[in-house]
Amino acid sequence: MKFIEPNVTLIEEKDPYKKIELAGRVCYKSESKITDDSAKKFVRGLIKSTHTAMLEHKVFVFEIYDDSAVYTEFLRRDNYFHVTSEIIKDKKGYRNRVIASASVRAICQRGINDPIYRAIYKEYPDVCYNINPSALELFDYVDVRIIDVEKEYINFNVKELIEHIYFTFRIITDRGVTHELVRHRPCSFAQESTRYVNYKDGISIALPSGYYAKPHYVQEIYQDAFEHAEKCYKELIEECGESPQQARAVLPTALKTEIIITTNLKEYIHILNLRYKGTTGNPHPDIKVVAEKINYLIKAQMRNHPLNIENILNIDINSREYRNV
C-alpha cells in the first residue's frame, strides 16, 4: 500500500488525437502503451467500440458568419454548444459574428451535413464518426472556420473568453472528491476505472487533508482500515476468483484515483466558487485542496495572457452585467 498526496496538472496537448488518447488511457491505466504513432489508431478503436465519451476532451472553437442568424439559433438550442454573438463592422459592412465551441463528440452528433461538422472533418477526419445526414444541408451559405482563441484573443471580449477558453486538468485525488466533481455540468470527465484496473498488487491511498497533523492513534485507525480493505480485495481476487469490478466493493473512499476534467472558464469559475471559495457553504477539506491547485494553475495561465486578466476568476457570471455583455 502506498500513500500519495493530491496533485493537479494542466494538460496542454493541442493535437486532437493525442489528447483523446491520453484521456482514454487514463481510464485503463495504459499510458505506457502511448507511442509517437498510436493516437489515431486508438481513437478509431474508441469510435468502433462506441466509447465516444473520450472525444469530449477535445474542444474546437469556431468563428461563424451567419447574417440570417437562423443557423445560430439552431446552435443555441444545442445544449452541448456554447454560443456567443455580436454585430461587428468589417469591409463587408455590419455582420453577425458568432463564436461557438463544443467537443468533438457534440459536433459529430450533429451530422455530416452540418457546417461545423464539415469544418473539422476537413482537418481531422479520423475523429469524425457520424456520417448520417442532418437536416442542416440548407446552410451552405454559413461561413465557418476553426480558430485558436488564445492566439486571436485581441478580437474577443471578456465574455467570449470566459465562454470559449477551455482547460483540461489531470487530477490525482481520492474517489470521494471525484464523486463531488462529477456532479458539475457542463463538464467532461475521464476517470481511472475500478472495473478494469486490477489493484491486487497493492492499492494507493490519497491521504485525507491534515492526516499527518492528526494524533498518532487516529492515523493508526485510518491505516488499519486501509490495510484491511487492501487485504480483503487481494483475497477476493486471488483466492475467491472475483473480478476487479466485483472486488472493488471493499475498496475505501480514500482510494487514489485519477480523473481528467475538461470544461470552459465559465464553469471553472462556478466550480471554484463552490469548492474553493465556499460561496454556498464550507467545501470538503479534500476537494478544497484540489480546487486551490486548479485556481492557482488557471491564474498562472491568465497571468501570462496578453490581456492581463488575472482577476477574471472573480467575475460574477450570474450578474446582469455579465449576461448583457
How large is the average pLDDT for residues 273-293?
97
The tens digit of pLDDT for each residue in 27-38 reads: 999 999 999 999
Q: Residue 135 pLDDT more than 60?
A: no
The candidate with the shortest Cα–Cα distance to 25, out of 15, 35, 144, is 35
Q: Give pairs for 10-13: CB < 8 Å, separation 24+.
A: 10/167, 10/168, 10/169, 10/297, 10/301, 11/168, 11/169, 11/170, 11/260
- Which one has a higher pLDDT value, 135 or 297? 297
What cell was used for 28? 485503463
pLDDT for res 323: 72
How large is the average pLDDT for residues 218-231?
98
How large is the average pLDDT for residues 63-78?
88
Of the chain, the percentage scoring pLDDT greater than 90 comes to 73
How large is the average pLDDT for residues 135-159?
78
pLDDT for res 134: 60
Q: Residue 93 pLDDT more than 70?
A: yes
DSSP string spanning 123-188?
H-GGG----S--S-TT-TT-EEEEE-TTTSGGG--HHHHHHH-EEEEEEEEEHHHHHHHTT-SS-E
How large is the average pLDDT for residues 268-292?
97
- Least reliable range by pLDDT among 89-93, 158-162, 200-204, 255-259: 89-93
pLDDT for res 310: 62
How large is the average pLDDT for residues 171-188?
97
Q: Residue 184 pLDDT more than 70?
A: yes
pTM value surpassing 0.85: yes
pLDDT for res 325: 60
pLDDT for res 89: 79
- pLDDT band of residue 90 (cuts 50, 70, 90) is confident
In the block, cell 451559405 appears at: 141
> Distance between CA atoms of 12 and 7, rounded to whole angstroms?
16
- pLDDT band of residue 112 (cuts 50, 70, 90) is confident
Q: Which domains are seen in the chain, by residue range?
A: 2-14+166-312 (3.30.1360.170), 58-147 (3.30.70)
- Is 11 in contact with 169 (CB distance < 8 Å)? yes
Residues 6+ apart with CB under 8 A from 119: 60, 62, 144, 145, 146
pLDDT for res 79: 93
* Average pLDDT taken over every residue of the chain: 91
Element (H, E) at 269: helix 265-275
Q: Give pairs for 182-186: CB < 8 Å, separation 24+.
A: 182/259, 184/263, 184/267, 184/270, 184/271, 185/267, 186/79, 186/80, 186/263, 186/267
Amino acid letter, residue 62: F
Question: Which member of 110, 118, 275, 303 is catalytic?
Answer: 275
In the block, cell 479534500 appears at: 286
How large is the average pLDDT for residues 160-178?
96
Q: How far is CA 75 from CA 102, 105, 106, in A?
A: 10, 15, 11
- Which one has a higher pLDDT value, 149 or 121? 121
pLDDT for res 288: 98
Q: Residue 225 pLDDT more than 90?
A: yes
- Asked whether the CA dihedral 123, 15, 259, 161 is positive or negative, the reply is negative
Active site (annotated) includes residue 323: no
> Distance between CA atoms of 211 and 113, rounded to whole angstroms?
56
- Is 244 in contact with 196 (CB distance < 8 Å)? yes
Q: How many residues does the chain have?
A: 325
How large is the average pLDDT for residues 237-260?
98
pLDDT for res 66: 83
What cell was used for 254? 480514500
Q: Residue 136 pLDDT more than 70?
A: no
